[in-house]
Structure 1
Amino acid sequence: MSSTSVNIVLRAYDQFCPLILGAIDTPGFDFDVRFRAPLSNEFPEGIHGGEVSFNRYVMARANGDDRLVGLPAFVLRGFRHRNYIVRRDSPLESLSELKGKRVGSNSWSDTGTMWARAALREAGVEVGDVQWVIGHLDDKIRMKPKTPFDVEPPHGSTFLAGDQTLMDDLRAGTVDAATTAFMPPSVYEVGGEFRRLVRDFRAAESGYHRRTGVYPAFHIMAVQRSFAETNPRAVLALYDALIASWENWWLKLKNFGEASPWAIEEAETMIRDFSEDTPPFGLDKPAHRTMLAAMCHEQYAQGLVGTAADPARLFSDFEEIAKAAGR
């Protein structure tokens, strides 16, 4: 019996390596996972689906663009209190102290920076309370090329010239803090010139989770609508394969969690404190619905969209496919 080929883009996260390595049985479907391909919400020729920016996906839905069919598979998640950087000698210690300050960002439409601003707002600092500076982080971490899914930063934002970087301005004291998806190496250096703004970010993020019920999702999986309409069984097979890969990884983590000294403690933290967020699939758990509602609200509150997306409709196409298949 021949198999249907499905070409997807997905980074080689630990929990999806079983799928990438061919350790997941997918009868009737042959998944070619391009884990080295760049991520984009616009799939190139020959790519049926892949990992996409959740923020850009939801903004597109809010604006009536339904070219992609999203799967409720939250393949990348995290908190963003940890992603604010200051100079080591900075007197700043908390997000609430950023009101009125100059804060740099090397992306405005990324999901991570959207959630970073959500954390800021939850700390009492509105987007308009900050003087935003937009530019390259440093010589290696550059701004991404603008896509049709992106929006402009707020009116009055400062844009750095091509040869300037946020880290240089942070070093010079002309920027008070910066937020970015990836930490520059100096943040990890003992006694380096930069540090995280929130020193005990685990405590801050745990408190945020307790207060809001939100464990932010950054990326989801999506497929082209044309592919979903002609291959609905492949969409469900992809979803099932992602779940099976996660479960394979989860079992091995609990049995062989030795990648770091306390990896097994992190697994137990997920079981104890994030039971409604684990596994990161589906819409039946209240925690996932809370996160979706928060995302739609934040996009509107931050001025990313003129009308908020309906959280109940973000994955309605996938739900219809599942219902038609008796799922």
Structure 2
Amino acid sequence: MPDLTLNMTLRAYDHLTPLFLGDVPTPGIKLNLDHRAPLTSAFPEGLAAAEVSFNRYVLAAAKGDDSLIGLPAFILRGFRHRNYIVRRDSPLETLADLRGRTIGTNSWSDTGTMWARAAMRDAGVQVSDVDWVIGDLDEATPLKPPTALDVDPPRGSRVLRSGETLMGKLRDGSIDAVTTAFMPEPVFQPDGEFRRLVRNYREVEQEFHRRTGVYPGFHIVAVRRDFAEAHPAAVITLYNALRASWDLWWSKAKKFAEGSPWAMEEVETMIRDFPGDTPPFGTEAVAHQRMLAMICHEQFAQGLIARAARPEDLFGAFERLGTRIAA
């Protein structure tokens, strides 16, 4: 009997290299990976699995949309205290300094910007304490197109006109800070005109992690429910392959750590300080349970949803697939 074809879109992250190279077995399925397709919450016909926005997936779950089954595979993670930009001559130095200020963003519904607002709220600044401006980041990074799972920014938010950009408004002083997923190149220039708001972001993020136990997740993998219900074993095989890919990469990282001069120290930091998040799979670890609870709480607290999703429901359908296969 020929293998079942499983079409999937997935970014080519380092820890997924073994999967892309074919070094991970996927018994019973022929895995077709597309790493060039843009991230989407809409699954076109023929697409069985995809990397998706975790924030949008949880929003859908909170609204009762069960068309996708999420896998507890947290394939993209990070802290967002570092993702606020100010002018180099700005007097602002901390997230607490943002109260009463004007902040720009080029996406309201992205998981990263949700976590950035969570970091701000953790510093004592509520979403309503800020004037929000929505628009293109710069000439090369337009405002992200809306999806069916997007939510509206707060009432009173201003949308930039065509030809205006957030970085331009930051440059001329019309706004005080910008938060976005990826830092524009001037932020990386030692004497560039822009800098990160939180200069000592590693220390601040470490303190947040020590206090909350949360290492934020941005993207997960999800499968179409109709595909999962027709082929539950294929879904479990996919999940196991993602885990196996991470394991192979992690073994290599511990041997070589060649990505940067102190990459080995980063490996040891993960082992020492993030044991519950290593590997980034499953819901059994207390660290992951805290992260799930926080994203559900933050969506409600930030006004993204009228009724918060329940953390235990987010991956319940996937767990039931595993039980079904085991039986």
Counterpart in the other structure of 1:179: 179
Q: How does 1:36-47 map to 2 (within 5 A)?
A: 36-47=36-47
- Residue pairs, 1:124-273, within 5 angstroms: 124-273=124-273
Q: d(CA) in 2 for partners of 1:106 and 1:40?
A: 17
Cα drift, residue 143 of structure 1 = 1.0
Corresponding residue of 1:292: 292
Aligned mates of 2:92, 2:15 — CA distance in 1: 36
Supply the distance in 2 between the matched residues of 1:210 and 1:292 (Cα, whole angstroms): 17
RMSD: 0.8
Q: Distance in 2 between matches of 1:121 and 1:302?
A: 9
Q: CA offsets, 1:156-185, max 9 Å, x none?
A: 111110110000000000100000001000
Task: Tell me which residue corresponds to 2:32.
Answer: 32
Total equivalences in the alignment: 327
Residue 74 of structure 1: aligned partner: 74
What code does the residue aligned with 2:251 have? L
**How do 1:47-126 residues align onto structure 2 when only pairs under 5 Å count?**
47-126=47-126
Query: How many angstroms apart in 1 are the aligned matches of 2:117 and 2:259?
Result: 32
2:21 is aligned to 21
CA distance in 1 between partners of 2:56 and 2:103 (Å): 22
- Residue 44 of structure 1 and its aligned partner are, at CA, apart by 1.5
Output the CA distance in 2 between the equivalents of 1:170 and 1:254.
41
Q: Distance in 2 between matches of 1:191 and 1:248?
A: 40
Aligned residue for 1:81, secondary structure, equals: coil
Partner Cα distance (2:247, 2:104) in 1: 39
Distance in 2 (alpha carbons) for counterparts of 1:23 and 1:90 = 49
Query: Following superposition, which runs of at least 4 residues in structure 1 exceed 2 angstroms of deviation?
Result: none
Query: How far apart, CA to CA, are the structure 2 residues paired with 1:162 and 1:317?
Result: 43
How far did residue 27 of structure 1 move?
A: 1.7
2:8 corresponding residue in structure 1: 8
Q: Partners of 1:274 and 1:240 in 2: how far apart?
A: 21
Q: Separation in 1 of the partners of 2:156 and 2:317?
A: 39
Separation (CA, whole Å) in 2 of partners of 1:93 and 1:190: 17
Give the Å deviation of 1:315: 0.5
Unaligned runs of 5+ in 2: none
SS, match of residue 186 in structure 2: helix
List per-residue Cα deviations over 1:11-65 (Å, max 9, x = no partner): 0000001101111111211111111111101111211011000000000010111
- TM-score (normalizing by structure 1): 0.99
Cα distance in 2 for partners of 1:41, 1:210 equals 33
Distance in 2 between residues matched to 1:122 and 1:209, nearest whole Å: 12
Deviation, 1:326, is 2.0
- Tell me by how many angstroms 1:190 deviates: 1.4
Whole-Å Cα distance in 2 between the matches of residues 301 and 190 of structure 1? 37
Rounded Cα–Cα distance in structure 2 between residues aligned with 1:218 and 1:39: 12
Flag structure 1 segments of 5+ consecutive residues without an equivalent.
none
SS at match of 1:227: helix
Identical residues among aligned pairs (%) = 60
**Aligned-partner residue type, residue 30 of structure 1:** K
Measure, in 1, the Cα distance between the counterparts of 2:97 and 2:135: 22
